[in-house]
Homo-oligomer: A and B are copies of this chain.
Amino acid sequence: MSDRTEISSLGEFGLIEHLTKNIELQNASSIVGVGDDAAVIDHFGKQSVISSDMLVEGVHFDLMYTPLKHLGYKSVVVNVSDIYAMNATPTQIILNIAISNRFSVEAVDEFYSGVYAACGNYGVDLVGGDTSSSQKGFIISITAIGEIAPDKYVKRSTAKKGDLICVSGDLGGAYIGLLFLEREKKIYLENPNIQPDLESESYVIGRLLKPEARKDIIEFLEKQNIVPTSMMDISDGLSSEILHICKESDLGCRIYEEKLPIAEEMRTAAYKFQIDPTACALSGGEDYELLFTISQADYDKITLSEDISVVGYMTEKEKATHIITKGESTYLITAQGWNAFKKRDQ
């Protein structure tokens, strides 16, 4: 980077103006955007859906291998993903950041370029937020707002016994991508002259650094007139999320190992770390795929999408939460996943 502009040279209000001056509101529902005490949103008879996430440097991301533009993009994706997971359409975001003085205006611009790229792709307006300093590191808090026709939202607690469990895309890639980047970071810290060669791992690394929210799946479901009986996004790993749906819906489940969607690139990469790809698919987080249940009557329609896998079905609560392996063994699903597989007592 050729120039470095200190944030202090703009001041707080100058920085906000610099970062937001080119915003053009895309949604008719965005009545008042950045620049007042609050944003005003008109949902024209629809209901609002609101979600918020915080991303903390050193906890949720490592700037040593996360380009700021990707970080900005992902910060938006993580939040609109929650809105899609309610079967709603994201319309606005509010972005708070806190930054230490090690960041320049150019660095913040990079981050915002990713934010605006995601806003464009998902059709959401940035309508407000707060910019402040931190004692250490970069902290991001995004609130996403969406809209939905009254009472058409889909919760986690409404799955029914016998419903099919569906997963979009493939799982575990982001986790393996993280393992590669952490390994390369360690090598680099030990010897800064070694250049990493991650070209062949671009798929899994892309899964971590450039996730997309599954807007297309929500559109497919709507087109096919399928209303999921329950839904959530997969941020913490399939095991953890299906346990949420089971607990909230007061049901059990059976998931089949052979049905888990695993990309060939992820499988190959997992073997390099001598890790079971199934374990990654079950417990690796940050894929931002959708997990949802549908009525069995919708099975034929679901098969029209190559990007949705039926991985099991919901059972009564007494049958607990199980995974059936390829060798036909039955294990309890635990939120800790692959490093805590526990043989069923039977």
**A137 touches B (CB below 8 Å):** yes
Residues of B with C-beta under 8 A to A36: 86, 155-157, 232
Q: Which of A105-113, A139-147, A173-181, A256-264 forms contacts with chain B?
A: A139-147
Given contacts A37-B86, A128-B51, contact A136 B139 (CB under 8 A): no
Given contacts A48-B41, A146-B38, A155-B36, contact A57 B135 (CB under 8 A): yes
Closest to A129 in B: B52
Q: Are A47 and B52 in contact (CB under 8 A)?
A: no
Residues of B with C-beta under 8 A to A31: 47, 151, 153
**A77 touches B (CB below 8 Å):** no
* Bound-state Cα–Cα, A233 to B37, Å: 7
Chain A, interface size category, equals 35 or more
Proximity bits, A211-244, B CB within 8 Å = 1, else 0: 0000000000000000000011100000000000
- Taking chain A's interface residues, is the majority helix, strand, or loop, or is none over half, making it mixed? strand
Which of B38, B53, B96, B151 sits near A50, CB closer than 8 Å?
A: B38
Residues of B with C-beta under 8 A to A148: 40
**A67 touches B (CB below 8 Å):** no
Given contacts A54-B98, A96-B53, A132-B60, contact A40 B32 (CB under 8 A): no
Q: Are B50 and A94 in contact (CB under 8 A)?
A: yes
Q: Are B141 and A50 in contact (CB under 8 A)?
A: no
Residues of B with C-beta under 8 A to A144: 38
Q: Are A139 and B54 in contact (CB under 8 A)?
A: yes
Closest to A50 in B: B39
Which residue, of A48, A128, A145, has the highest number of chain B Cβ atoms within 10 A? A48
**A276 touches B (CB below 8 Å):** no
Interface residues in A97-139 (C-beta closer than 8 Å to B): 97-98, 127-130, 132-137, 139
Top 5 closest A-B pairs, CB basis?
A141-B141, A38-B51, A37-B85, A37-B82, A54-B96
30 contacts between A and B (CB under 8 A): A32-B155, A36-B155, A37-B82, A38-B83, A38-B85, A38-B86, A38-B88, A38-B146, A39-B49, A40-B48, A40-B50, A40-B86, A41-B48, A41-B49, A43-B47, A43-B48, A48-B145, A50-B92, A50-B145, A51-B128, A52-B128, A54-B96, A54-B139, A56-B98, A56-B133, A56-B139, A58-B135, A59-B133, A135-B137, A141-B141
